[in-house]
């Protein structure tokens, strides 16, 4: 799954280019950098490879989300509908611009359930934010129709799905804006980093300014730049961009290997009749970073997880239902408003709503789900061995469950 598995000479070459100039900052120092502009080159390569007009690099996927919301005009009191299954950074970013998170259920796509989204819309709703979790996509056809009907923004959190597509379009390029993450365990890594993708020039210009303290970047003297808007230091460094540039050039190779290994593991697990698989709106566009699958009941799934642990094969198999960071069930710090700075009354009210909200629909999905991370480095023999070990545990658990039924 993560690009760090194929870290090598290409990344070192790009980093050494930067080290030889000594210019680690992405802006300024035009002479000493000797024509080296790794961040600019990565932005151009991203937009070309993913098929969008503009890409703005940031320091992380989280700051990319904050930047995109600011550029889209999402702010104090605006409601943003997001899924119950996502990394907690999605909520943090909503809170960071003063907006209000509204959490909706997921279905077997592991992303937003359209009926739950419709039920969550109020006069204060400004944006729907699908999170394309685990390498695959939300039901974008349904969500785009909802946005059109209610005149809402669509912001795609594609931080876990670099390279995935929907009907031939890269995830993150379908809505008003989208975001990617390049942290260490993402498909393409910069070590740390992120990006905002958009086809809207106005949105891009605001992202460009917002990520650099509001600099308008229109002059040749950085110190004389105008500052039309408030901004923050969300810049990526040239070193991080250099790593990402080498990684992005390998993306097609990553995707080919991931998809092949995912399909092979799918074939192994499909020999167990009781296993079903994640719903993928566009199977051809799945990036293959995970294979997500379901067992008949929560009790059976939890027994399989324990069986994997006992057999030493739990690493790489994620049971999100008990995960502290990726599912609403364990977001106690958010539900109780544990913030180092004062949240607005509207945000605190939203936390109280989430704390008492009925997520039984999401629970019914997530309590039966295991996501298996797909490694780029598996040999065919290792993949077959892993699959066989998983099937052995699963069949043992199912056999015991059948005997006690």
Q: What's the pLDDT tens digit per position in 229-284?
A: 999 999 999 999 999 999 999 999 999 999 999 999 999 999 999 999 999 999 99
Contact 262, 286 (CB under 8 A): yes
For 6-21, what is the mean pLDDT? Answer: 96
Tell me, yes or no, whether 263 and 225 share the same domain: no
Closest CA to 116 of 102, 100, 126, 127: 102
Q: Let me know whether 157 and 141 are in one domain.
A: yes
Q: Which of 382, 380, 383 shows the shortest CA–CA distance to 291?
A: 383
What confidence tens digit (pLDDT) does each residue in 158-179 have? 999 999 999 999 999 999 999 9
Note whether 172 and 256 are same-domain residues.
Answer: no
Residues labelled catalytic? 186
Task: Please give the average per-residue pLDDT across 108-127, as a whole number.
Answer: 98
Q: What is the CATH number of the domain that holds 256?
A: 3.90.1150.10
Number of Cβ within 10 Å of residue 183's Cβ equals 17
354-404 pLDDT, tens digit each = 999 999 999 999 999 999 999 999 999 999 999 999 999 999 999 999 877
pLDDT, position 2: 83
CATH number, position 103: 3.40.640.10
Q: Same structural domain for residues 129 and 195?
A: yes
151 & 46 share domain? yes
**Domain closes at, from 206, 222, 250:** 250
Q: Mind listing the pLDDT tens digit for each residue in 363-373? A: 999 999 999 99
72 shares its domain with 219: yes
Q: Does residue 238 sit in the same domain as residue 226? A: yes
Residue whose entry in the numeric block shows the structure tokens 């909503």? 94
Residue 267 domain boundaries: 252-404
For position 81, what pLDDT does the model report? 98
Query: At 212, is the pLDDT very low, low, confident or very high (cuts 50, 70, 90)?
Result: very high
**Contacts of 385 by beta carbon, 8 Å cutoff, 6+ apart:** none
In a shared domain, residues 206 and 297: no
pLDDT of residue 210: 97
Residue 310 burial (10 A CB sphere; 0-12, 13-18, 19+): exposed
Query: Of 295, 287, 294, nearest to 262 (Cα)?
Result: 287
Q: How far apart are CA 85 and CA 134, in angstroms?
A: 10
My answer on whether 126 and 227 are in the same domain is yes
Q: Sign of torsion, CA 181 184 189 190?
A: positive
pTM equals 0.96
Burial (CB < 10 A; 0-12, 13-18, 19+), residue 8, is exposed
Number of structural domains (the chain) is 2
DSSP tag of 242: H
Lowest-pLDDT choice from 143-147, 204-208, 221-225: 221-225
Assess whether 214 and 339 both reside in one domain: no
* pLDDT over 60 at 405, yes or no: no
* 136 & 169 share domain: yes
d(CA 193, CA 180): 9
123 and 184 part of one domain: yes
Position 350 scores a pLDDT of 96
- The pLDDT of 301-312, averaged and rounded, is 98
Q: Is the dihedral of CA 70, 76, 80, 83 positive or negative?
A: positive
Cβ atoms of 373 and 316 within 8 Å: the answer is yes
Q: CA-CA distance, 215 to 222, in Å (whole number)?
A: 8
| Distance separating alpha carbons of residues 371 and 376, to the nearest angstrom | 16
Of 197, 162, 174, 150, give the one whose Cα is nearest residue 56: 197
Instruction: Supply φ then ψ for residue 55, to 5 degrees.
Output: -135, 130
């Amino acid at each position: 799954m993560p690009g760090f598995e194929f870290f090598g000479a290409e990344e070192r070459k790009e980093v050494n280019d930067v080290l030889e100039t000594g210019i680690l900052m992405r802006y300024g120092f035009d002479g000493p950098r000797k024509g080296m502009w790794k961040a600019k080159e990565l932005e151009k390569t991203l937009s070309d490879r993913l098929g969008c007009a503009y890409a703005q690099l940031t320091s992380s996927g989280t700051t990319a989300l904050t930047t995109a919301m600011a550029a889209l005009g999402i702010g104090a009191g605006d409601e943003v509908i997001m899924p119950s299954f996502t990394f907690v950074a999605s909520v943090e970013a909503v809170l960071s611009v003063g907006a209000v998170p509204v959490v909706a259920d997921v279905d077997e796509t592991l992303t937003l359930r359209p009926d739950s989204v419709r039920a969550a819309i109020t006069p204060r709703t400004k944006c729907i934010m699908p999170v394309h979790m685990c390498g695959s996509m939300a039901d974008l056809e349904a969500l785009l129709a909802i946005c059109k009907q209610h005149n809402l923004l669509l912001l795609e959190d594609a931080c876990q799905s670099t390279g995935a597509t929907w009907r031939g379009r890269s995830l993150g390029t379908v809505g008003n804006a989208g975001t990617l993450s390049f942290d260490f365990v993402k498909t393409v890594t910069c070590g740390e980093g992120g990006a905002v993708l958009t086809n809207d020039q106005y949105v891009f210009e605001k992202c460009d300014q917002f990520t650099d303290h509001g600099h308008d970047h229109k002059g040749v003297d950085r110190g004389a730049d105008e500052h039309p808007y408030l901004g923050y230091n969300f810049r990526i460094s040239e070193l991080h961009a250099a790593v990402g540039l080498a990684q992005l050039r390998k993306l097609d190779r990553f995707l080919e290997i991931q998809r092949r290994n995912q399909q092979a593991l799918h074939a192994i697990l499909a020999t167990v009749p009781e296993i079903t698989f994640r719903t993928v709106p566009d199977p051809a566009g799945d990036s293959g970073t995970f294979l997500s699958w379901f067992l008949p009941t929560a009790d059976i799934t939890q027994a399989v997880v324990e069986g994997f642990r006992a057999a030493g094969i739990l690493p790489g198999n994620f049971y999100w239902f008990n995960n502290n960071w990726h599912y609403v069930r364990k977001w106690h710090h958010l539900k109780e408003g544990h913030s180092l700075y004062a949240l607005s009354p509207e945000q605190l009210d939203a936390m109280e709503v989430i704390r008492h909200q009925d997520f039984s629909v999401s629970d019914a999905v997530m309590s039966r789900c295991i996501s298996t991370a797909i490694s780029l480095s598996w040999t065919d023999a290792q993949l077959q061995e892993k699959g066989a070990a998983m099937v052995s545990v699963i069949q043992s658990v199912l056999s015991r469950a059948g005997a006690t039924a």
